[in-house]
């Protein structure tokens, strides 16, 4: 694993836990963690037996088959392409890259590798929440019918505090983008994943509400925030259906509200990550006097991923998506079936993000997504 921050902890828990709950076709072994500083302590905490400070060491090792990239986005392309070319399967955190160009290069590398049975996957982990997977299955099964409209948002509030510090996430050259790329990307991916439809064009505005933030350790000094912290946009899918999106780090009181609502002529589904064990489903074909949103507790063995976990009514948390992701990734590798989302899927989201930025620079004009 390359990287050892918040995502490093989450991915480690996934690698450690998945084999204990799923019957995997091969048991992954946690071998080596890479980081430039403080990696010994991280290895100890996260449970990795070996460490390195240069990711090239990991790629050079013959006994390592899988590279898991959890670094900031500016290093994804270089590492992933090198790993794929070295014949390693690659799991890479989203956003796939900081620019559409890098993402395209990664997708090309992944396509070449796949031809040799080496697979790459983008870490849109929220596809692995049982409720979102159920939503996808229900839409695919026609439960919402023909889709009329889509609403997706990802709302957080950790920048509401004007004293929230200046970090790598505040800087476009490191983070690529702000709320749009960090959390808006999840909303876009989830909307496309659940509906099975692709966005064709977008119109929107991105905004930096707080333009300067205090630099930690340098009292009185402020850094220029060069990323957005609020993104409002609409999208039109290839089939003409409209969707509305919001990504915000200023939505006071909303901590991690990735929300999706899909409305169709036979029903609707609604999801909120702050209530992740539930999926709301409206069956517009039921007798009128019994219609309403059904709050499905997605903890039955019949639900996606759940049979491996606990009995009905025993809740899953944030981290379970990472174990479910390991299950799907390892299964894809062993069975030689491309796991999804592929790097191409990740790159497509990157193109959506680019188109939104273009639209915002162009007075919110509708902008075709280049793909």
- Residues 154-213 contacting a second copy, CB under 8 A: 156-158, 160-162, 203-205, 207, 209
**CA-CA-CA-CA torsion for 39, 40, 41, 43, nearest 10 degrees?**
80
Instruction: Identify the residue among 35, 267, 339, 346 touching a second copy (CB under 8 A).
Output: 267
Task: Please select the residue that binds a second copy; options are 173, 224, 265, 370, rule is CB under 8 A.
Answer: 265
Three-state secondary structure of 255-288: CCEEEEEEEECCEEEEEEHHHCCEEEEEECCCCH
Coil/strand/helix, residue 204: strand
**Residue closer to a second copy (CB basis): 70 or 103:** 70
Among 312, 334, 337, 368, binds a second copy (CB under 8 A): 312
- Tell me: does residue 221 bind a second copy (CB under 8 A): no
Cβ atoms 268, 261 nearer than 8 A: yes
> In this chain, which of 104, 182, 228, 246 binds a second copy, going by CB under 8 A?
246
300 near a second copy (CB under 8 A)? yes
User: Is residue 272 at the binding interface for a second copy, with CB under 8 A as the rule?
Assistant: no
Site track for a second copy across 3-42, x = CB under 8 A: ---x---x-xx--xx-xx----------------------
Contact 68, 32 (CB under 8 A): no
Q: What is the separation of C-alpha 40 from the centre of its chain, rounded to a whole number of angstroms?
A: 28
220 in contact with a second copy (CB under 8 A): no
Residue 364 engages a second copy in binding (rule: CB under 8 A) = yes
Q: b vs e for 223-256, b when ≥16 Cβ sit within 10 Å of the residue's Cβ?
A: bebebbbbbbbbbbbeeebebbbbbbbbbeebee
Q: How far is the CB of 87 from a second copy (least distance, A)?
A: 30
User: 53 vs 362, which CB is nearer to a second copy?
Assistant: 362
Minimum distance, C-beta of residue 6 to a second copy, in the bound complex (Å): 7
Phi first, then psi, for residue 19 (nearest 5°) are: -65, -20
């Amino acid at each position: 694993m390359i990287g050892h921050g918040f995502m490093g902890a989450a991915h480690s828990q996934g690698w450690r836990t998945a084999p204990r709950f799923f019957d995997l076709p091969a048991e992954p072994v946690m071998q080596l963690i890479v980081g430039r500083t403080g990696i010994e302590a991280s290895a100890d905490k996260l449970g990795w037996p070996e460490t390195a400070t240069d990711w090239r060491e990991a790629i050079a090792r013959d006994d390592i088959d899988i590279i898991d990239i959890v670094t900031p986005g500016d290093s994804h392309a270089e590492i992933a392409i090198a790993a794929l070319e070295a014949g390693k399967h690659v799991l890479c955190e989203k956003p796939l890259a900081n620019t559409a160009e890098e993402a395209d290069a990664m997708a090309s590398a992944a396509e070449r590798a796949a031809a040799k049975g080496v697979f790459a996957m983008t870490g849109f982990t929220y596809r692995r929440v049982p409720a979102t997977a159920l939503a996808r299955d229900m839409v695919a099964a026609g439960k919402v019918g023909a889709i009329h409209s889509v609403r997706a948002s990802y709302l957080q509030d950790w920048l509401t505090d004007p004293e929230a510090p200046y970090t790598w996430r505040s800087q476009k050259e490191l983070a690529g983008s702000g709320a749009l790329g960090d959390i808006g990307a999840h909303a876009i991916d989830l909307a496309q994943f659940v509906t099975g439809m692709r966005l064709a064009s977008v119109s929107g505005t991105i905004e930096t509400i707080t333009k300067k933030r205090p630099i930690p350790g340098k009292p009185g000094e402020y850094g220029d925030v060069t990323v957005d912290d609020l993104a409002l946009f609409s999208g039109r899918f290839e089939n003409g259906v409209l969707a509305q999106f919001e990504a915000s780090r200023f939505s006071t009181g909303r901590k991690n509200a990735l929300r999706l609502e899909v409305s169709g002529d036979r029903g609707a589904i609604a999801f909120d990550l702050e209530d992740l064990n539930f999926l709301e489903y409206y069956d517009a074909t039921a007798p009128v006097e019994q219609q309403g949103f059904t709050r499905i507790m997605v903890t039955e063995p019949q639900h996606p991923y759940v049979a491996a976990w606990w009995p009905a009514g025993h809740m899953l948390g944030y981290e379970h998506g990472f174990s479910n992701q390991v299950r799907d990734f390892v299964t894809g590798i062993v069975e030689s079936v491309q796991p999804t989302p592929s790097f191409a899927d990740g790159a497509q989201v990157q193109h959506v993000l680019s188109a939104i930025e273009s639209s915002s620079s162009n007075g919110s004009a509708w902008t075709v997504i280049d793909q």
